[in-house]
Amino acid sequence: MRAFLASAIGVTCTAALVLPLAAPADASAAPARENDLPGSTQSLPLDALSPSTRATGAPAGEQGLTERDVRPFSMVGVVWDDAEAELHGTAQVRTRAAGTRSWSGWQDLETHNAEHAPDPGSAERAAGTVKGSTAPLWVGASDGVQVRVRPEAPATGDAASVPLPAGLHLELVDPGEDPQDVTGAAGADRTAGQESVALPALDRAETETETEAAAGLAPAAKPYIGPRPRIVTRKGWGADEKLREKAFAYTKSVKAAFVHHSATGNSYSCSQAPSVIRGIYRFHVKSNGWRDLGYNFMVDKCGNIYEGRAGGVTKAVMGAHTLGFNANTMGIAVLGTYSSSNPPAAAVTAVSGLTAWKLGLFGADPRGKVTLVSGGSTTYKKGKKVKLNVISGHRDGFATECPGARLYKKLGTARTTSARLQGR
């Protein structure tokens, strides 16, 4: 039954749905509040900084904005026109806490340089709306901002630094108000008469029974599948479904999981996690030009699990998380930055439980290896067959620091625990 279970569930996800994308609203338009949508995005073009406004020793070619008042926002990032262009330099911001005169120090924005993006040749990429970007940074409620983007210093013997990408814009995201408290383990999963805000956790026997029923199978040998963890739905974290592309895109299977950190910083509280996710969602759609949130699932520092890209948590939904390997995989982002900070144990435990369940639906062994075919990137050319761990870090599929050195070191523990939860 184990093999049959995986294939039977996969039947609902077989042919990839390749549909034309509706172009998201122009994020570079005048930053008027979108009254019909919760939250808003301000998009401000960056200007060349004059010698008088640049810091001492700053290279020529620096772009940015001087200190200014703006409408309230909580997340900030930088985008540019060409998704293929790389930002060779640094992007930094200072922000002012809302209603105060208190400015932060300079904070770095992690440059993604195309490593998180829809695959080349996909309908999402072909829509022509995709932009290059840094990672968005969660800064909390703010109403003032300053930004500087500096090109790398010229190499020895070179006359000038590498130019910055064209069309640099600062994106300021207001995630809007929370719909309700969904981070509690009990009592918030369902509101009377309303759609569920969380899928409750199931024990292993309940998970197997539900899985057999969904696949139309008679009870037989028990599958290798972990108990379903509690998952906060898109309704639960307040997704505005009018933002995303209406259609869904599926691939044939889920053969592997790529673990990421969101690089949005660690200053959020767990009660703020839904706001952080709404900010990332809006940034991915309105600023990056993607069809939906890029990750399939997200995990906060308290171990809460959230549904990501729409299409069904049990299905093989095509994400935009690991360039070249979005097909037949899922992307899990742990909210935070884990380059020099240790990920909380609760978050690693949640990754283990989530992978035990979701990979189990498709018959994948968390301790195993899998051969994936690259959809194309600067690391692996299109068609290249690459052998990877079933639970891999983003850096295994692309030359990147993600998911941060400290989180990457925990993936061995996640594999072992995930396999144990599957009954292996």
Tens digits of per-residue pLDDT, 322-371? 888 999 999 999 999 999 999 999 999 999 999 999 999 999 999 999 99
Nearest C-alpha neighbor of 5 from the set 257, 218, 315: 218
**Alpha-carbon gap, residue 248 to 233, rounded angstroms:** 16
Residue 186, pLDDT above cutoff 60:
no
Cβ atoms within 10 Å of 24's Cβ, excluding its own: 19
**pLDDT for residue 11:** 36
For residues 249 and 294, is the Cβ–Cβ distance under 8 A?
no
**Alpha-carbon gap, residue 419 to 389, rounded angstroms:** 13
Whether residues 235 and 251 fall in one domain: yes
What is the pLDDT averaged over residues 272-276? 96
Residue that the structure tokens 């197997």 belong to: 208
Given 174, 206, 236, which residue is the final one in a domain?
Answer: 174
**150 DSSP β-pair partners:** 90
What is the pLDDT averaged over residues 206-229? 75
Given 122, 154, 174, which residue is the final one in a domain?
Answer: 174
Coil, strand or helix: which one is 411? Answer: helix
Per-residue pLDDT reduced to its tens digit, 45-83: 999 988 766 666 666 789 999 999 999 999 999 999 998
Give the tokens for residue 169: 């814009």
220 torsion bin: left (phi>0), alpha (psi -120 to 50), beta (else): beta
Residue 97, pLDDT above cutoff 90:
yes
Residue 123 pLDDT level (bands cut at 50, 70, 90): confident
Nearest C-alpha neighbor of 173 from the set 280, 66, 290, 95: 280
**Alpha-carbon gap, residue 300 to 320, rounded angstroms:** 19
Which residue did the predictor score with more confidence, 389 or 4?
389
248 domain residue, yes or no: yes
Whether residues 67 and 111 fall in one domain: yes
What is the pLDDT averaged over residues 73-100? 94
Residue 235 pLDDT level (bands cut at 50, 70, 90): very high
**pLDDT for residue 121:** 76
Residue 10 pLDDT level (bands cut at 50, 70, 90): very low
Which residues are within 8 A (CB) of 142 and not within 5 positions of it... i.e. 6 or more apart?
A: 72, 73, 74, 76, 95, 96, 97, 98
Whether residues 115 and 170 fall in one domain: yes
Indicate the burial class of 102 (C-beta count within 10 angstroms; 0-12, 13-18, 19 or more): exposed
What's the farthest any 2 CA atoms get from each other in the chain?
A: 75
Whether residues 162 and 225 fall in one domain: no
Residue 31, pLDDT above cutoff 50:
no
Q: What count of Cα atoms within 13 Å lies in the side-chain half-sphere of residue 378?
A: 12
Whether residues 75 and 206 fall in one domain: no
Give the range of the structural domain holding residue 408, as residue numbers without chain letter. Answer: 2-19+180-421
Verdict on whether the full-model pTM lies above 0.85: yes
* 352 sits in which H/E element: helix 345-361
Whether residues 111 and 167 fall in one domain: yes
- Within 223-320, where are the H helices? 234-237, 273-282
For residues 112 and 365, is the Cβ–Cβ distance under 8 A?
no
Residue 253, pLDDT above cutoff 90:
yes
Give me the numbers of helices (H) and strands (E) for the chain, helices first please.
9, 17
Residue 247, pLDDT above cutoff 60:
yes
Cβ atoms within 10 Å of 139's Cβ, excluding its own: 24
Residue 402, pLDDT above cutoff 50:
yes
**Alpha-carbon gap, residue 109 to 231, rounded angstroms:** 29
Residue 267, pLDDT above cutoff 90:
yes
Mean model confidence pLDDT for the chain: 85
Whether residues 119 and 139 fall in one domain: yes
26 domain residue, yes or no: no
DSSP 350: H
Cβ atoms within 10 Å of 328's Cβ, excluding its own: 19
Q: Which amino acid is at 93?
A: V
Which residues are within 8 A (CB) of 150 and not within 5 positions of it... i.e. 6 or more apart?
A: 58, 59, 61, 62, 89, 90, 91, 92
Q: Which amino acid is at 163?
A: P
**pLDDT for residue 400:** 80
Per-residue pLDDT reduced to its tens digit, 135-183: 999 999 999 999 999 998 776 656 566 889 999 999 999 999 887 666 6
**pLDDT for residue 378:** 79
Number of domains in the chain: 2
Given 174, 198, 223, which residue is the final one in a domain?
Answer: 174
Instruction: Name the most confidently modeled range: 29-38, 179-188, 333-342.
Output: 333-342
Please state, for a pLDDT cut of 90, what percent of the chain lies above it: 65
Q: How far is CA 143 from CA 92, 102, 247, in A?
A: 17, 11, 35
Q: How far is CA 232 from CA 209, 307, 354, 356, 365, in A?
A: 21, 6, 12, 17, 25
